[in-house]
């Protein structure tokens, strides 16, 4: 099996300090959190940013400040800005970090209920994002919240809008989207083309059991405050690094080596 890529989704758009006071918000805090997550074993940092009030924003300048702060902190992990932002944002807001030419960015592969909201990703939006990512040399991570989203991604592939290696993020357990279960994970994986790589993001208490299965199945794992703020039931996580470190220990016990950022770049055909 190839080495395990661990992604740390360190902030997200929906979590607040009321949910977990350890949430990083400012560019400096995000950079320190990213460095610690990388030291713990993360090879990818999935990045959302916040404005001065702590609200989600897709402002290009704010992303630039966070990315520059990460460089100053010595982060070498793959920085993967979100183009999902928060439900309700326009596509023009969402696409901004692509123009910073990061190595990767998320590309959401279909519309879904997202709690009480609707997270809109119609095919014209997806095509536009895929074209812009290709133009700016940004590798998309194909985020799928439903099994049908995989078919949308493969449609883009057929339309030659996804020319590079296909890497999926299978998100299970968002309220209103595919429920988190092992059967659903297996069904999603069975819909992927054999050459694709994939990671799993289990929401809330599903983070860990889905991670165990992904490690055993040859997939990769995403953890972090965007998806889950707890270490144990009723016990808040101290940091994203704490969540990453647990996955490293589990992987070691299961006999799966963990990829460093350079090895992750090789696995994802980024180099």
Residues that bind Zn ion (CB under 5 A): 82
Is 65 in contact with 28 (CB distance < 8 Å)?
A: no
Per partner kind, with CB cut-offs from 5 to 8 A, the member of Zn ion, ligand KMH, none near residue 225 is none
Out of 33, 36, 103, 143, the residue judged to bind ligand KMH by CB under 6 A: 143
Part of the chain binding ligand KMH (CB under 6 A), chosen from 106-114, 132-140, 179-187, 241-249: 106-114
Closer residue to ligand KMH, CB minimum distance, 117 or 263: 117
The CA dihedral of 193, 134, 226, 247, to the nearest 10 degrees, is 50
Answer yes or no whether residue 201 interacts with ligand KMH by CB under 6 A. Answer: no
DSSP-based three-state secondary structure for 152: helix
Q: Kindly write down the DSSP assignment for every residue of 56-125, as one continuous string.
A: EE--HHHHHHHHHHHHHHT--SEEEE-S--STT--HHHHTGGGGG--SEEEEE-S-EEETTEEE---HHH
Per partner kind, with CB cut-offs from 5 to 8 A, the member of Zn ion, ligand KMH, none near residue 140 is none
Answer yes or no whether residue 119 interacts with ligand KMH by CB under 6 A. Answer: yes
List, in sequence order, every residue forming a beta bridge with 235; answer none if it has no partner: 232
Out of 63, 114, 198, 225, the residue judged to bind ligand KMH by CB under 6 A: 114
Q: Containing H/E element for 50? A: strand 49-50
Q: Which residues bind ligand KMH (CB under 6 A)?
A: 13-14, 82-84, 86-87, 106, 108, 114, 119, 143
């Amino acid at each position: 099996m190839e080495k395990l890529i661990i992604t740390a989704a360190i902030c997200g758009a929906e979590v607040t300090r009321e949910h977990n006071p350890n949430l990083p918000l400012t560019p400096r805090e995000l950079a320190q959190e990213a460095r610690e997550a990388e030291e713990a074993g993360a090879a990818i940092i999935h990045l959302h940013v916040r404005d001065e009030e702590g609200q989600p924003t897709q402002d290009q300048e704010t992303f630039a400040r966070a990315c520059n702060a990460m460089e100053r902190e010595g982060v070498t992990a793959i920085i993967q800005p979100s183009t999902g932002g928060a439900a309700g944002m326009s596509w023009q807001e969402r696409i901004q970090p692509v123009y910073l030419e990061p190595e990767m960015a998320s590309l959401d592969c279909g519309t879904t209920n997202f709690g009480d909201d609707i997270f809109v990703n119609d095919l014209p939006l997806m095509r536009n994002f895929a074209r812009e990512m290709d133009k700016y040399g940004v590798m998309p991570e194909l985020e799928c919240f439903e099994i049908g989203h995989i078919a949308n991604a493969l449609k883009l592939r057929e339309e030659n809008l996804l020319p590079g290696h296909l890497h999926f993020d299978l998100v299970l357990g968002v309220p209103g989207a595919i429920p988190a279960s092992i059967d659903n994970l297996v069904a999603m994986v069975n819909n992927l083309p054999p050459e694709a790589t994939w990671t799993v993001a289990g929401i809330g208490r599903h983070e860990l059991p889905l991670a165990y299965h992904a490690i055993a199945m040859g997939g990769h794992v995403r953890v972090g405050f965007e998806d889950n703020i707890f270490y144990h039931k009723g016990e808040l996580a101290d940091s994203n690094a704490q969540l990453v470190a647990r996955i490293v220990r589990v992987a070691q016990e299961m006999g799966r080596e963990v990829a460093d950022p350079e090895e992750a770049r090789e696995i994802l055909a980024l180099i």
